[in-house]
Structure 1
Amino acid sequence: MQEILDAILAEQYDALAGLAVPDHYRGVTVHADEAEMFDGIPSHEKDPRKSLHLDEVPTPELGPGEAIVAVMASAINYNTVWTSIFEPISTFEFLRRYGRISSLTKRHDLPYHVVGSDLAGVVLRTGPGVNAWKPGDQVVAHCLSVELESPDGHDDTMLDPQQRIWGFETNFGGLAELALVKSNQLMPKPAHLTWEEAACPGLVNSTAYRQLVSHHGAGMKQGDTVLIWGASGGLGSYATQFVLNGGAIPICVVSSPAKAEICRAMGAELIIDRNAEGYRFWSDEHTQDQKEWKRFGAKIRELTGGDDPDIVFEHPGRETFGASVYVARRGGTIVTCASTSGYEHTYDNRYLWMNLKRIVGSHFANYRESYEANRLIDKALIHPTLSKVYPLGETGRAAMDVHGNTHQGKVGVLALAPEEGLGVSDPEKRERHIDAINRFRGV
């Protein structure tokens, strides 16, 4: 592994094809025999630091259409939190299902799960049938894994019956020194970014792109008013940039003055600090307070000069969904990609059907959408939102930051990279955008 790292640090990428791939590597794992360790404990009290382990694991066999990547850096997503607290189900159930498909997928059904759905690194090996990539290529990876043996996925790959999220519903993820990916997950690494900066947009940037910009999501257009929950967080920080970059008007919902300042730094002007305003959408565990929905809607109209949101960018779920349906404009769209506060949503359907609103489910992104989202990063039209970076051995602490919502933007993890700041091959381009690249750092 050290020879591989030395070659990468020396930028001797052509030499990698001649170096042996180690038969073991270090990866962040959860263990099947610990899947019940948090039973009876409330979700917010479950501690990822107890369930995420840094283990030496065997390097998986390389199959057709696959690549092994030396991972320089990765990032934390909420799916890593879900994996670490074994909610809503243990991810070992996903691995068992995947393992039943073929002898090749059987490799994934193991008593440990190497997690992580982002990476930036360098290709070490490619399997039979891979022509677009070779050892030494600097890459990032999106997390869509599909088999594409059914016709259902050939119009939109997200509709493939065997669609999965790599590193969450498959094994050998990116929070590790090596990762196994399908070659069609790979995309060019933006040359002006460091390894850790390039690793952090993948999942959330692609998700926000499909949710807002794509015709499969809300189909945002210039002039649209877009309500963004958690506008300074991992998803919301990219949503805010897409709205501003696309000529629409963001209404950023945040939970502190510091988060409001980040949104202003991105260029947003209409901001609601929900804690300062004291919104409580639930009067008790079973009852929503519609007066609070109306008060929230009035605040939005006050900021916009009377406009309701054309689009509501939803991901908190249970806590906010009733309010989201209520405040969307007549004929508007509520587009949802997650339920971090709970999966069972309730809302007053009168406000949906009588006002001809739409609820659109959106999940990650297809290959094309992921590529387009990465291209915008490469063009420096959208920027990383990296705030903090941990070493691989402190991945549990990084996941705890996300679980407790104490972070801003994205939390990165160094894998093989020995320190931050490495991997830039276009310093001139970087310098032109350095303030935007560093906007979230240290916040």
Structure 2
Amino acid sequence: MFSPPPPPAEERDVHKILEAIQSDEASAGDVAALELPESYRAAFVSKDEVDMFEGLSSRDKDPRQSLHVDEVAMPELGPGEAVVAVMASAINYNTVWTSIFEPVSTFGFLERYGRLSELTRRHDLPYHVVGSDLAGVVLRTGPGVTKWKPGDRVVAHCLSVELEGPDGHNDTMLDTEQRIWGFETNFGGLADVALVKANQLMPKPEHLTWEEAASPGLVNCTAYRQLVSKNGGDMKQGDNVLIWGASGGLGGFATQYALNGGATPVCVVSNEEKEKIARSMGAELIINRSAEDYRFWNEEGTQQDPKEWKRLGARIRELTGGEDIDIVFEHPGRETFGASVFVTRKGGTITTCASTSGYMHEYDNRYLWMNLKRIISSHFANYRESWEANRLIAKGKIHPTLSRTYPLAEVGQAALDVHHNAHQGKVGVLCLAPEEGLGVRDEEMRATHLEAINRFRGV
């Protein structure tokens, strides 16, 4: 009888890793004894293709052409680091930016990081393994790691810091060498294996599947800092919170945090399906901007219409019983920022963490300075904030917003969905996990929250 040739050693090693992870009998020692493959499957962009979309509009740039899935070399494990077997990951907008090489090529980030030390030089490669989320299992830890061991089931936040200078020791986001893992560093989470700093790791919520546990990561922590933390909006009970894109990746968590914290979300959505999602989370005050046809800019995109700001403000007061907005959860940027500044109450706060519709914001400064409003910049989250955000997921107080999951081989299509906003909530990616629905250890807790966990599914 014909026997097919054995698979390459790397595939056999990965298969053994997956077998150990899926076994309830594998000990920490068993996992530690597994051979690491010399190479592993990963999604990456190539340095020699950074000009491939030259002359095209952003909309026409296709991540399916630039994101490759192939074998890459296993990086050397350094002090304070961990190698993690990635069961699942997710798509964030930073992967879209990387894949279309906007606003700049991320290879500049890798080159600068590579000049920092002999250890960081590993990151400066002609390919960039992307991805800033993961759920998986620790395979190896480097010298100096005491909190985590092989076999631990983990998720990772995406803050990478060196903390050798004083700046980051009150708030690690202020470290002079602060970076976003998988965007400004290499060896990200859209792969079968990832390299992280051990202080990125957090316990996996055990009532969730691998793909559900991977999906909150970046956006959940970002929303927590931007809205809840004292470093952001410092939200309190009773606050009126205007949330743009309230059923999206970021906004879906902001809506949950507002409701969970006793605030009143005023949810801006773009269609009836997204309105239904917001209402299913418990939100009552909804503005469907498409149905109400808000046009903050003229057709040329060169001038804003203050009458539209006033119309939005009047609509908000109609919903809130005459009250203005205490905190605006801003991330669209140029398209909405003028309106956000206008509708905020005197002494209120506009928090901003992104500019997906454009970076060059324009607003009428009279409404800011004469009414003592504040604009607060917010970027991801520090380890403490990330830990608290993950803890709320693990306790079932906040839930994933996963709507769809792709296999790693189709990561380009997953990124295209996010690029064209053809999705709800978060889009997940299966890496080592052979199928959806694996990884749950607390079935009793899961049953309690199943409807909320699946809220974004199938929409």
TM (norm. structure 1) is 0.99
- Return the offset for 1:286: 1.2
How far did residue 13 of structure 1 move? 3.8
SS of equivalent residue, structure 2 residue 346: coil
Equivalent in the alignment of 1:71: 86
Aligned to 1:215: 230
Instruction: Give, in angstroms, the shift of residue 10 of structure 1.
Output: 1.6
- Give deviations 1:385-405, integer Å, cap 9, x for gaps: 100000000001001111101
CA distance in 2 between partners of 1:162 and 1:98 (Å): 9
Contact residue 13 and residue 137 of structure 1 kept, 8 A: no
Structure 1 distance, partners of 2:366, 2:378, is 23
Give the residue type in structure 2 aligned to 1:239: A
**2:247 maps to 1:229:** no
Secondary structure at 2:211 match in 1: helix
Could you say if the C-alpha distance between residues 333 and 5 of structure 1 is closer, same or farther in structure 2, counting changes exceeding 3 Å? same
- Which runs of structure 2 are paired with 1:14-163 in the superposition (5 Å)? 14=27, 15-163=30-178
2:121 is aligned with what amino acid?
A: K
* Deviation string, structure 1 residues 46-68 (Cα, Å, up to 9, x no partner): 11111100010000000000000
Contact residue 64 and residue 129 of structure 1 kept, 8 A = yes
Q: Answer yes or no: is the 8 Å Cα contact 1:388–1:442 preserved in 2.
A: yes
Answer yes or no: is 1:269 the counterpart of 2:275: no
- The 2-side partners of 1:38 and 1:245 are apart by 43
Correspondence for 2:447 = 431
Alignment of 1:344-383 (within 5 A): 344-383=360-399
Alignment-derived partner of residue 318 in structure 1: 334
| Secondary structure of residue in 2 paired with 1:433 | helix
Identity %: 75
Counterparts of 1:421 and 1:74, CA distance in 2: 14
Q: How does 1:376-415 map to 2 (within 5 A)?
A: 376-415=392-431
Spell out, residue by residue over 1:203-246, the C-alpha distance to the aligned partner (whole angstroms, 9 max, x if none).
00000000000000010000000000000000000000000000
Q: Which is further off, 44-53 or 362-371?
A: 44-53
2:194 is the alignment partner of 1:172: no
Secondary structure of residue in 2 paired with 1:339: coil
Aligned partners of 1:213, 1:115: CA distance in 2, in Å?
28
Q: CA deviation at 1:45?
A: 1.2
1:189 is aligned, of 177, 184, 204, to 204
CA distance in 1, matches of 2:295, 2:43: 38
Give the residue type in structure 1 aligned to 2:447: E
How far is 1:12 from its partner?
A: 3.6
- Separation in 2 of the partners of 1:65 and 1:133? 10
Residues 91 and 169 in structure 1, CA contact (< 8 A), matched pair in contact too:
yes
* One-letter amino acid matched to 2:367: Y
Q: What's the counterpart of residue 22 of structure 2?
A: 9
TM-score w.r.t. length of structure 2: 0.96
Partners in 2 of 1:16 and 1:334 — Cα distance?
A: 47
Residue 258 (structure 1) aligned with residue 257 (structure 2): no
The amino acid across from 1:10 in the alignment is S
User: What's 1:295 paired with?
Assistant: 311
CA contact (8 A) 1:13 1:135 kept: no
Confirm or deny: 8 A CA contact 1:314 1:335 kept in the other structure: yes
Uncovered stretches (5+) of structure 1, i.e. residues with no partner? none
> In structure 1, what residue type is equivalent to 2:128?
H
SS at match of 1:250: strand
**Residue-pair matches, total:** 443
Measured after TM superposition, the shift of residue 125 of structure 1 is 0.2
Q: Work out the CA distance in 1 between the residues paired with 2:409 and 2:219.
A: 23
Cα RMSD (Å) = 0.6
Distance in structure 1 (CA, Å) of the matches to 2:315 and 2:329 = 17
- Is the partner of 2:347 in helix, strand or coil? coil
| Residue identity matched to 1:266 | M
Q: Indicate the residue corresponding to 1:339 in structure 2.
A: 355
Alpha-carbon separation, structure 2, partners of 1:157 and 1:8 = 32
Q: Which runs of 5+ in 2 are unaligned?
A: 1-13
Return the offset for 1:18: 1.1
Among candidates 338, 343, 368, match of residue 327 of structure 1: 343
